[in-house]
Each structure stands twice: as structure tokens, then as C-alpha cells.
Structure 1
Amino acid sequence: EDLTNGSYDDVLNAEQLRKLLYLLESTQDPVIIEKALVTVGNNAAFSVNQAILRELGGIPIVGNKINSPNPSIKEKALNALNNLSVNVENQIKIKIYINQVCEDVFSGPLNSAVQLAGLRLLTNMTVTNDHQHMLHSYITDLFQVLLTGNGSTKVQVLKLLLNLSENPAMTEGLLSAQVDSSFLSLYDGHIAKEILLRVLTLFQNINNCFKMEGCSASQHFTKGSLFFLLYGEECAQKIRSLVHHHDTEVKEKVVTIIPKI
């Protein structure tokens, strides 16, 4: 039977998944590998299969494919890991790939399918605080991609940064990151709402954690860091001016932030 030819709705049983994983592990044919990864990814969208695929040893089989020089295979492997990572137990096995995924995300082509797939996986892996510390050394890189990426890339990076920003243990790392001053242009009124709301929430989360931690001293943050951008007068002015924004959601968000700046 051709296990790689099913539609999204065809959920494979455990025996079929075992055969599929064997096929994925044993073949060298890039077309079959890609199809098999798509099928694994589609099946991993179902919670019952997330556990079955783990128990069948599927995570390292899929994970090994992110090392493929073929960007299409790499992307499909990342997509499959992304679906598998919804399961918290799976995350324990997937976390060993985080550094590799970060390297691919930050050294690969900007706005590529691989970069987006990697960012989505990292976003899933940081929904809880368990593995966020593994991204500590990549925070500056994240901001770099945020500033240079297109709209879709910006939104995905912001989703990831928002996860990190909710964790007080990551606050200092975020505020210490060296970030280009063009970051503040994301608070301009003409910026797309899906980006603007997220950068406002980013400020809100970081500020809440910062105040909660009782850190008021700025001496350990260097010039050029996110701290000096977020807590500078220019940022405060930009946020205040958004109170006149045409979008109600943006205005409501700003109203909750203004008393704190």
C-alpha cells in the first residue's frame, strides 16, 4: 500500500505508521522522503498519533531529516516536528533539535519556508517555560530577523518573542539584547495591526515582568540594548500617540499600557 499518498483526512493506524517510519528511515529517494514526511506531519496533527509516533521511535527518525541539505525535506521535517511538538512529552525528545533549528533559522535564507517552519517549531516549543532558556543566546538574532523579515516572518518572530516575554526568567535576557533602533518604527501608527498589537503586548509583558522582578536599576543594561529602546522617551511618545489610532483594539491596548510608562 502507498502510505504516502493519503489525503489529510486519512488517519493511519499504528501499524501503518510503523511502516511509514520504516520507509522514511530506509529510503534515500528524496521524493519519497518528502511525501513520507508530509504524511507523518499530517498524522501528527491528531493527538492520538502524536503519542503513537513517539512510542514508535518516530521523533528521531523525523528529527534526523532536518539535517538534509534539501530545503524542501528540511521544511517538511520541521513541519512534522512542529505538529509532534504540540504534545508536551514529545517536546522532551524534540528539544535536542532546538540548537540546530535555531542555526537553520538564523543562518538560512530570510523569509524562506525553512525559516518560517523553524520559527513555528520554536514558537510551539516555547509555549511553556520549560525550554525557553535554550533560546537565550539567540535573542539578538530573533530581533534581527524581526527587523529584516517580511510581514509573515515578523508576525512569527513576534509570536515567539511574546512567549518568551511572559516568562520573568527571560526578561533580563530580552532587555539586554542588542537591538537596532529601527525596532521603534514598529510602534508607528501605519504598521499592520497584527504586528502593532504584538509589539505593544511585547512591551506590556516585558514591563510587567520587569516591574514584578523589582528591577529598576538600568546600570547593567548597555547602550543599544532593548532596555534603552523600550524605556526611552521616543518609545513612550510613540505609544502615547497611538491612543488616537483608528483601530479600536490598538487604542484599547494602548490605554492599558499608558499608565505604566
Structure 2
Amino acid sequence: MSVTNAYHYKMINKIPCFLHLLSEGSERTQIQVLKVLVNMSANPATTRHFLKAQVPSLLSFFDNCINSDILLRALVFAANLKKNANNEDGIMTEDEYSEDSVFSMLCRDSAAFAQKLASLLHHPDTDVKEHAVRILTQ
């Protein structure tokens, strides 16, 4: 259902559930959830819903010690959202986003996120480095 944009509207109300599974699930679950989140985050129509979601632990996924499969997917997820947020007129109205929202981490108070990304520039995986640069330069 997440591979094509045609069904994303049916899954939008489940975004908090997916993010909860991402925070609480095993590594295997996290990888599967991130596959769905990456596909959905590529669709600009879902961006506002993701940015409103509250995920206090999301920042912990951008660490050098995280499984590379999880880290890379988390980076693609964040890059998709940041790209869509930057391209969307009116999506950056800060008043509608809470302090622990995905928007706050990516766009409003992104110093901690930028610091995490900067540390990933020394990661041994080239793909991880490239995605970190992609996000930092958006």
C-alpha cells in the first residue's frame, strides 16, 4: 500500500502508529516501518501530516552506532520530508507544530539534528555520508 501514492491517503491517520512502532520496535520492525515511512515521505501530500507528528525519540536514530540499514532509511525519510517541506508553500507555518514534532527537529530547532548529521560525515558508509550532506545542504 505504501509503494504507490494512490493509497497514502488511507494510511495518513496511521502515521502516529508507524512512528510509535519505529520508536518501540525491534531492529527488524524498525527496518520494515522505515521502508513504509520512506515511501510515504516521498509523497508531498503526506508531508504536513508527518511534520505534525510527535516523536521525541526520532533524533536518536541519527547516531553513528545505529544499525546502518536503519540509519540510512532514517536519513532518506528525513531528507524526503525536509525537501518536501522546503518546496511546499505555507507548510512552514511554525505556529501549528508542537515542540516535540518532527517539524521542530527538522526545521525549527535543528541545531541538535545538524550536530548529529555533522557527526555522520565521518561514518564509514558512503551512502550515509551522502545523505547527511544532502540534508545539511537543503
Residue identity matched to 1:255: V
1:166-177 matches, within 5 Å, as 166-177=42-53
Q: Return the letter of the residue paired with 1:205.
A: N
Q: CA shift at 1:131, angstroms?
A: 0.9
Q: Which residue is 1:25 aligned to?
A: none
Aligned to 1:233: 111
Alpha-carbon deviation of 1:257? 2.2
Q: Distance in 1 between matches of 2:106 and 2:121?
A: 17
Alignment of 1:52-91 (within 5 A): none
1:208 aligns with 2:89: no
Query: Which residue in the other structure is 1:184 paired with?
Result: 59
Partner SS for 2:97: coil
Partner Cα distance (1:138, 1:184) in 2: 21
**Aligned-pair distance for 1:238?**
0.4
| Secondary structure of residue in 2 paired with 1:244 | coil
Q: 1:161 corresponds to which residue?
A: 37
Deviation at residue 219 of structure 1 after TM alignment: 1.3
3-state SS of 1:131 partner = helix
> RMSD of aligned C-alpha atoms?
1.2
CA distance in 2, matches of 1:167, 1:250: 22
TM-score by length of 2: 0.92
> Could you say what secondary structure the match of 1:156 adopts?
helix
Give CA-to-partner distance per residue, 1:42-86, whole Å, 9 cap, x none: xxxxxxxxxxxxxxxxxxxxxxxxxxxxxxxxxxxxxxxxxxxxx
**CA–CA distance in 2 between the matches of 1:253 and 1:172?**
22
Q: Distance in 2 between matches of 1:223 and 1:252?
A: 28
Q: Where in structure 2 are there 5+ consecutive unaligned residues?
A: none
TM-score normalised per structure 1: 0.50
What is the letter of the counterpart of residue 236 of structure 1?
Answer: A
Q: Equivalents in 2 of 1:210, 1:186: separation in Å? A: 20
1:176 and 1:216 mapped to 2: Cα distance? 11
Are 1:244 and 2:122 counterparts? yes
